[in-house]
Amino acid sequence: MPGEGRPDALRASRFMHAQRLAGALNAVAKGPQFSYRQARATARKEPNVDWEATKRLNEDFNPDVDGCESFVLSDGSVCAWNPSRRAYAARAS
C-alpha cells in the first residue's frame, strides 16, 4: 500500500540527531580522561539538543552514581548514556 514505509522513514529521520550526537560522544568517550563535563561540552556543540528537556530528564543526575547525562534532542529522540557499556546510544522518542 502507498505510504506503508513512511512511518519507518519518519522514525529514522527523527533518530538522526540522536545518532549523530551518540557518534560524537562515543568518539570522545574512548579517551582515558572522559568525564561528564566532556560529554556536556560535546553536546553543547550540537544545535539540536533541547536543553530544557535534557535538564528535566537529568533532574536527579549524580556524576558519582550515573557517570554521564543523557541528552534530549529537539525532535524528541534521546542520546542515552549506557553505564554498563560506557557508551551512548540513540533511541527514538
- Joined together, the cell numbers standing for residue 22 give 551518540
pLDDT per residue of the chain (93 residues) written in tens, 0 to 9 = 444 455 565 555 667 899 999 999 999 999 989 999 999 999 999 999 999 999 999 999 998 888 999 999 999 999 999 999 999 999 987
* Lookup result for grid cell 527523527: 14
pLDDT of residue 3: 43
Alpha-carbon distance of 71 to 41, in angstroms, equals 12
CA 81 to chain CA mean position, Å: 7
Whether 46 contacts 22, CB under 8 Å: no
